[in-house]
Amino acid sequence: MNYDDVAITTAVTIPYVRYSTRSAHWFLARALAETFQSSGLKMSDIDGLCVSSFTLTPDTAVGLTQHLGISPRWLEHIPMGGASGVIALRRAARAVQCGDAQIVACIAGDTNHVDSFRQTLASFSQFARDAVYPYGSGGPNASFALLTAYYMRVFGARMDDFGKLCIAQRANALEYPHALFKKPLTLEDYLTARPIAAPLRLYDCVMPCAGAEGFLVMRRERAHALGLKAARLLGAIERHNAFPDDPIQMRGGWELDRDDLYAQAGVAPSDIDFVQTYDDYPVMTVMQLEDLAFCAKGEGPAFVRSHTFDLRGSFPLNTSGGQLSVGQAGAAGGYLGMVDAIRQLTGESIGGIVPDAKIGLVSGFGMINYDRGLCSGATILARDAA
Amino acid sequence: MTTPLARPKRKNPFLRTRLSVLPPAARSRVALGLTAAAAEGRFELQVCTACGTTQYPPREACSRCLCGDLKWALQDGRGELISDSTLHVSHDLYFRERMPWRVGMVRLPSDAILITHVHGDVPAAPSQVRVTARLDKSGQAALIALPIMDTANMSDDRQLREMTCDPKFRKVLVTDGKTAVGQEIVKAVLAAGADMVWLGFAEPWKQLPGFADIAALPQVTPLPLDLTNSESVKQIAAQIGAKVDIVINNAEVHRTHGISSRYGVDVAHAEMEVNYFGLLRLAQEFGAVMRARGADGQSGAVAWVNLLSIYALTNFPPHGTFSASKAAALSLAQCLRAEMRPAAIRVINAFPGPIDDEWNQLVPPPKLAPRALAHAIVGALQDGTEDIYPGDVAQEWRARWRENPKILERELAG
């Protein structure tokens, strides 16, 4: 079954803050309320809810229904971190296509108390608690330092390649009102920033923060009837624990499923007008560009050197600035690219605009369970011409 | 090569003594198998009994065939460091105080991937390494990748030293200098670089061979210490407790009686007074002050060694009351270990087989030479192991006990 009759609408953002005394419930409530506000729908119109959050514990989506006073007939909880946005969309799309729900609100959000990130890390997974956290407790910085060092050694990437991506994203972020980083980034700033976990320095690392994102999924005819601007869903893939025999992560599940993705969508990589990668660390962006067939494996560094990545560049990337410049609001980080992709395609951008964008690709990646990220996903969205 | 450790300067009395913090200690139950092996100095990983796949991190089912029966198996630890990093920022207080910190990923020939601490002498990835499992300051197993060949001063590596209790530049109390074992321990810790030894002696009127010579060594300070006397232990603790980095409690009374061979409780009482209550007195007087010094600079309080006996595991009826006193001491030592853990002080229990001394005269060989026991104790300090079974008899009894304690009991009953 294709996704032809699925519409994605009503991208909402609860502005990010570095720290908050609110709980995740507050941010998720705000995101849900904002979808009503933006769409003009009432609480009773939405019969499906899909939630992602790390800091909602001990609650899940179940507890949230009572907390927020809603009675959905379809409920999903997706604990897949940075892949949550793409996978929420996949789940919600099938639910509305099959009639299990009419309108699904997909929301992701997290709070960030002064000490909550450390607590999340210490008990992130059984493998992390047993076999990662006791080794320096560097969190994802340490995990991605190991992957980055390996990638650089094997494929000849240089820090200024990664810096180029970070700088372009910062330029995009300067046009996006909710970005927490508001100053331009120079290559010198990037290369001389304080070391975090060699070879990573400060601007290679996302900054944990609090915030939320959301969108609505319904059938196209419903969106048209409601007068909502919508993006179309051309294709979507997900994969978990791909390539378990690779000694270290140099690729994600996208490589297994990309042909399927482009076949579903009926487009080629060259048809894509902008790409939203999951950019928790720039090495992951490079891997996604390779695995999603924008260049061959190992050619990421050359691809970076031959393109420009700002909104009006040869390869517009992470159009709102990405997590590296906007901040990483926990699971909302897995929604950031999706939400801005919807806005770019519905003409509702609140920041910079990719000129004449018709097709966008959103990639998700999440959950460093032990030594690598396990969840990958990607989706191709298009402007709804109807 | 590692920069050799410098003798620590005298402590500045104006500075506050830092408090102990521990590295993250939470582990799942299945991961404690790694700790159980590391406590005895072995690096073991789970291996699937059905398909033979080596597993890591520890898990409940084989990641290849879903078999639920995984057995811990000895590893030689040789592998390739495929990536490494030096961390400058940590989320954890313990590591934050010790930045920068080197970590890496090691691929074993079995394809298991290990995230490990990395010794400073290991060349940058890719390079060959030996992985060992050590107990970290929290008492949990942690993997560290070492250079493939020993390097100069390698035990002085900052990260490795966090996992050991090396006597180098440390101050040691040996509670009984009158026995051959005590004297050999003094020689061995001094040879290992200990700064000085306080050497306890009870019953000063009793001249025993060797003591005068050992007490005359320049690094040795003899102290009258009678573990059966609470006041004596208290006085010595007041005098040196705040300076001792390592306690080695080797004092013991050993008589060769069961229940029926000696009527009355006087001998059993004497054994308990030293072997059990002596440890209790020592632990009460020295425990608190040592706990306060668990993070006192490069050479803070670090370890407590108990001389137990392999007879502590299962009673050896010809030495029945001695066995019972050592079993009591073992139980108390486990309590002490739990109480010392928050201060990162390792409690090491030595379970020797019969020592080659007068009280084992009638026990047939092989018997453990006092010097071999002393070297095993210093080895445990240098490796940071928790339980050692020195000598062939102890090794064999330990193996039999692990296999089936009931069978061993029946065999020892004659």
Quick one: pLDDT band at residue A386, thresholds 50, 70, 90? low
Per-residue buried b or exposed e for B19-31, using 16+ beta carbons within 10 Å of the residue's own CB: ebbbbbeebeebb
User: d(Cα B246, Cα B258) in Å, to the nearest integer?
Assistant: 34
The answer, for A198 touching chain B at a CB cutoff of 8 Å, is yes
**Element holding B267 (H helix, E strand):** helix B266-275
The whole-angstrom distance between B107's CA and the closest CA on chain A is 7
Encode pLDDT of A287-320 as tens digits: 999 999 999 999 999 999 999 999 999 999 999 9
A121, closest residue in chain B (CA to CA)? B91
- Select the residue of A132, A136, A245 nearest B87 (Cβ to Cβ): A136
The pair of three-digit structure tokens given for residue B4, joined into one six-digit string: 């050799």
Mean pLDDT of chain A: 96
Long-range contacts of B331-336 (CB under 8 A, 24+ apart): B332/B276, B332/B279, B332/B280, B332/B283, B333/B279, B333/B306, B333/B308, B336/B279, B336/B283, B336/B287, B336/B304, B336/B306
User: d(Cα A205, Cα A159) in Å, to the nearest integer?
Assistant: 13
CB distance A236 to A86 below 8 Å? yes
The pLDDT assigned to A59 comes to: 95
State the DSSP code for A203. G
CB within 8 Å of B358: residues ≥ 6 apart: none
Mean pLDDT of chain B: 95
Residue type, B332: L
| Helix residue ranges, H only, A61-115 | 61-68, 84-98
CB distance A279 to A366 below 8 Å? no
The pLDDT assigned to A117 comes to: 79
CB distance B178 to B208 below 8 Å? yes
The pLDDT assigned to A114 comes to: 87
pTM: 0.94
Overall average pLDDT of the A229-256 stretch: 97
The whole-angstrom distance between A304's CA and the closest CA on chain B is 23
Q: Determine the 3-state secondary structure of B106 from DSSP.
A: strand
B48: phi then psi, degrees, rounded to nearest 5: -70, 130
The whole-angstrom distance between A250's CA and the closest CA on chain B is 12
User: d(Cα B355, Cα B352) in Å, to the nearest integer?
Assistant: 7
Q: Which residues of B touch A125 (CB under 8 A)?
A: none
User: d(Cα A314, Cα A266) in Å, to the nearest integer?
Assistant: 22
A151, closest residue in chain B (CA to CA)? B83
* Inter-chain touch B85–A197, beta carbons under 8 Å: yes
- Determine which of A47-56, A121-130, A169-178 has the lowest per-residue pLDDT on average: A121-130
The pLDDT assigned to B116 comes to: 98
* Inter-chain touch A247–B23, beta carbons under 8 Å: no
Q: Which residues pair with residue A373 across a beta bridge?
A: A368
Encode pLDDT of A106-161 as tens digits: 999 999 998 877 888 878 899 999 999 999 999 999 999 999 999 999 999 999 99
The pair of three-digit structure tokens given for residue B265, joined into one six-digit string: 């409780």
User: d(Cα B259, Cα B265) in Å, to the nearest integer?
Assistant: 9
Low-confidence residues of chain B: pLDDT under 70: none
The pair of three-digit structure tokens given for residue A317, joined into one six-digit string: 């990337």
User: d(Cα A361, Cα B332) in Å, to the nearest integer?
Assistant: 64
Residue A230 or A386, more confident: A230
The whole-angstrom distance between A286's CA and the closest CA on chain B is 18
The answer, for A145 touching chain B at a CB cutoff of 8 Å, is yes
The pLDDT assigned to B12 comes to: 82
Overall average pLDDT of the A268-289 stretch: 98
- Residues from B contacting A (CB-CB < 8 Å) are 23-28, 31, 56-58, 63, 82-92, 94-95, 101, 103-105, 107, 111, 113-117, 125-126, 136, 138, 140, 142-143
